[in-house]
Structure 1
Amino acid sequence: MKDNTVPAMVPATADEDVQPDARPDARPGALRDDRPVEPPPDVFVYEDMLARRSRDRKIPKKDRTRSLILCVAAGQLREKPLSNLTVDTLLDASGLSRGTFYVYFKDMGDLVMTLLEEFFAIFWANRPKGGSGLGSYDAIYRVNLFYCRSYEANAGLFAAFSRYAESNVDIARIRGKMNSDWTERVVSSIARRRGFGEAERLRLAGTIRILIAMTVESLRDRYVYNDETLTRSFPEAGDMAEAITLIWFRSLFGEEPANGPA
């Protein structure tokens, strides 16, 4: 059975802002020819970033070696996202000595924690910003597109975050806090635009957590397990983002988007 853990920071809106749709010329069910309205930031491949850093002679050798170890670990997760990392396999792949590894990390758990923490910090810093002028559908799509592209490019790391959270209390705590914080931001954004009581607020928060779980499971099936139906139905990240966004919009607003697909 596949795990159902949920990585943090699944985006739902741009800049924590859910805007009412305001396009007088849009017709219900109209296919959007201009998506996304504002292109998301360039998607980064964390393994490549680490590889460049490990070769950069402008930084101290100790930092290059540390980056090399993290890069090899990221590469192993890319190749075998469902396997556990071990010190022996990492040393075989990197050519480094056991003593060198322990200079930088206490054990494999320490390495995994460091790798995932630093990856998600960069992921969060690169999220789309400045989309407050977009309509609701475009805002949600814009950020979901960034998330889908990021997952496609770093599927091993996203999958590892879910899997290690099952056994690592620290990673599970980080995941829980990030998901809770993101849920509250989306709820607060919607609350600013339409008032509702505590009961409705609680239900909305629960709905968002379900949507997060659905999104992560779908992306894991698409980019880690290479599900045949999802791969054929949504060959590009934009196709996947559009399908996910439509479900988010319907669930959050209870209606069809005026400027989204049928």
Structure 2
Amino acid sequence: MTLSFIDHLEARLQTDPPKQKGQRTRERLKVATAKVLEQKGYHAMRVTDVTETAQVAEGSFYVYFKDKTDAALTVLTSLLEDFFPLHIDPPRERSAFDSIRFANRQWIALCRGNPGLVRCILQLGDEAPEFARLAQATNRAWYRRVTASVMRHREGLQDAPVMLMVTLLGAMMDELVRKLVVYPDPDFIELAAKMGADDAMIADAASVIWLRVLYPDAPPPADLSAKVAEATSWVFGAR
């Protein structure tokens, strides 16, 4: 299953195209919008860029979208509401750490597969308050799911403190992908390279922190790589 939203849209259009020609044109414009957003960003995108990419007349664009903001909102809303949740939800019957690690690895991989689109989420959030609220609501829904999972496995906890910790940990992951993928931080990239840390290793190290905060009595995971175990050994030091 591809982690590229553009590949996903193109594959869906090819394998399951809408029956009506007008809807097919709209889907082509959505694919084109996603491509231009990924390549140029929201601020630099022009309607002519989209129509040239879709190979349709410029007038056709305004049949389906009011302006470039409307098209961008349509594409990025689908990314947030449909595509990301499809890939980040861990399979059932996994340990707490395996579920955390799966979600964190997938989050980094999704941002790696769609860096320009993730950047556009931040760009458009500054100009469209309703989209910023949607992005926040998407994050909040995920945090609530994680919070509910923690409370199912640990008795005697209150919802609000757990939700706060999960939100803080989620913010850590958001900042991590900003430094790693969306707006690469040269110092952070250099540090990761110095330690020989790829995306999976960074996700695993972050997941150890998640485990220590949410499940403080859990032992260190047995299947960590030697480098991650060494880098995070102090997390499981004297209590």
1:150 aligns with 2:150: no
Q: Which amino acid aligns with 1:250?
A: R
Q: CA RMSD in A?
A: 2.6
Structure 2 CA distance for partners of 1:246 and 1:109, relative to 1, 3 Å: same
Q: Which amino acid aligns with 1:85?
A: M
Provide the rounded CA distance (Å) in 2 between the counterparts of 1:76 and 1:247. Answer: 37
1:208 aligns with 2:166: yes
Provide the rounded CA distance (Å) in 1 between the counterparts of 2:150 and 2:42. Answer: 37
State which of 161, 166, 176 in structure 2 corresponds to 1:218: 176
1:51 aligns with 2:13: no
Following superposition, the deviation at residue 54 of structure 1 comes to 4.9
Following superposition, the deviation at residue 165 of structure 1 comes to 1.9
Do the aligned partners of 1:55 and 1:64 also contact (CA within 8 Å) in 2? no
Q: Which residue of 2 aligns with 1:189?
A: 149
- Tell me the TM-score normalized by structure 1: 0.72
Q: Which residue of 2 aligns with 1:254?
A: 216
Structure 2 CA distance for partners of 1:236 and 1:197, relative to 1, 3 Å: closer
Do the aligned partners of 1:43 and 1:150 also contact (CA within 8 Å) in 2? no
1:239 aligns with 2:201: yes
Do the aligned partners of 1:44 and 1:153 also contact (CA within 8 Å) in 2? yes
State which of 52, 58, 81 in structure 2 corresponds to 1:98: 58
Provide the rounded CA distance (Å) in 2 between the counterparts of 1:193 and 1:217. Answer: 28
Q: Which residue of 2 aligns with 1:87?
A: 47
Provide the rounded CA distance (Å) in 1 between the counterparts of 2:66 and 2:127. Answer: 18
State which of 112, 116, 126 in structure 1 corresponds to 2:87: 126
Provide the rounded CA distance (Å) in 1 between the counterparts of 2:218 and 2:42. Answer: 37
More relative contact order in 1 or in 2 (CA 8 Å, sep 6+)? Answer: 1
- Give the stretch that moved more between structures: 117-126 or 57-66: 57-66
Q: Secondary structure at the match of 2:183?
A: coil
Following superposition, the deviation at residue 248 of structure 1 comes to 1.6
Following superposition, the deviation at residue 219 of structure 1 comes to 0.5
Structure 2 CA distance for partners of 1:246 and 1:197, relative to 1, 3 Å: closer
Provide the rounded CA distance (Å) in 1 between the counterparts of 2:61 and 2:174. Answer: 32
Provide the rounded CA distance (Å) in 2 between the counterparts of 1:190 and 1:54. Answer: 39
1:20-61: per-residue Cα shift (whole Å, max 9, x none)? xxxxxxxxxxxxxxxxxxxxxx34211123334555696443
Structure 1: unaligned runs, 5 residues or longer: 1-41
Provide the rounded CA distance (Å) in 1 between the counterparts of 2:41 and 2:165. Answer: 29
Following superposition, the deviation at residue 238 of structure 1 comes to 1.2
1:145-189: per-residue Cα shift (whole Å, max 9, x none)? 122111110122222223322221221222222222222222222
- Tell me the TM-score normalized by structure 2: 0.78
1:67 aligns with 2:24: no
Do the aligned partners of 1:155 and 1:220 also contact (CA within 8 Å) in 2? no
State which of 114, 135, 139 in structure 1 corresponds to 2:95: 135
How many residues of Structure 1 are paired with residues of Structure 2 in the alignment? 218
Do the aligned partners of 1:151 and 1:158 also contact (CA within 8 Å) in 2? yes
Q: Which amino acid aligns with 2:4?
A: V
Structure 2 CA distance for partners of 1:248 and 1:82, relative to 1, 3 Å: farther
Structure 2: unaligned runs, 5 residues or longer: 234-239
